[in-house]
Structure 1
Amino acid sequence: MSVSGEMLAFLGLAFVAVLGGILLIQLTKVVHMVLALVFTFVSIAGIYLLLSAEFVAVVQILLYSGAITIVMLFGIMLTNNQKQEEEKGNRWRKILLLLGILGFAFAVYIGIYNLDIPVQPTTLHEANTEQIGIALFSKFVIPFELMSVLLLVALVGAIVLAKKDDEGA
Structure 2
Amino acid sequence: MTVSGEFIAFLALALVAIIGGVLLLNLTKVVHMVVALVFTFLSIAGLYVLLSAEFLAVVQVLVYSGAISIIMLFGIMLTKHNDEDDESPSVGRWKRLFLLLGILAFGAVFYIGIYDLDFGTTPVALHENNAEQIGMELFSKYVIPFELMSVLLLVAFVGAIVLSRKDDDEKEAEKE
| TM-score normalised by L of structure 1 | 0.82
Provide closer, same or farther for how the CA distance between residues 144 and 105 of structure 1 changes in structure 2, counting only shifts above 3 A: closer
Provide closer, same or farther for how the CA distance between residues 78 and 149 of structure 1 changes in structure 2, counting only shifts above 3 A: closer
Within 5 A, what are the aligned runs for 1:1-169?
Answer: 1-86=1-86, 87-88=88-89, 90-138=92-140, 140-141=142-143, 144-145=146-147, 147-149=149-151, 151-152=153-154, 154=155, 158=159, 161-162=162-163, 165=166, 169=170
The alpha-carbon deviation at position 167 of structure 1 amounts to 9.2
Aligned-residue CA RMSD (Å): 2.7
Q: Which letter does structure 2 place at the counterpart of 1:50?
A: L
Q: Which letter does structure 1 place at the counterpart of 2:85?
A: E
Provide closer, same or farther for how the CA distance between residues 9 and 76 of structure 1 changes in structure 2, counting only shifts above 3 A: same
The alpha-carbon deviation at position 75 of structure 1 amounts to 0.9
| TM-score normalised by L of structure 2 | 0.79
Unaligned runs of 5+ in 2: 171-176
The alpha-carbon deviation at position 5 of structure 1 amounts to 1.5
Q: Which letter does structure 2 place at the counterpart of 1:80?
A: K
Provide closer, same or farther for how the CA distance between residues 73 and 88 of structure 1 changes in structure 2, counting only shifts above 3 A: farther
- The worse-fitting range, judged by mean Cα deviation, of 101-110 and 83-92 is 83-92
Identity %: 61
- Number of matched residues? 168
Q: Which letter does structure 2 place at the counterpart of 1:30?
A: V
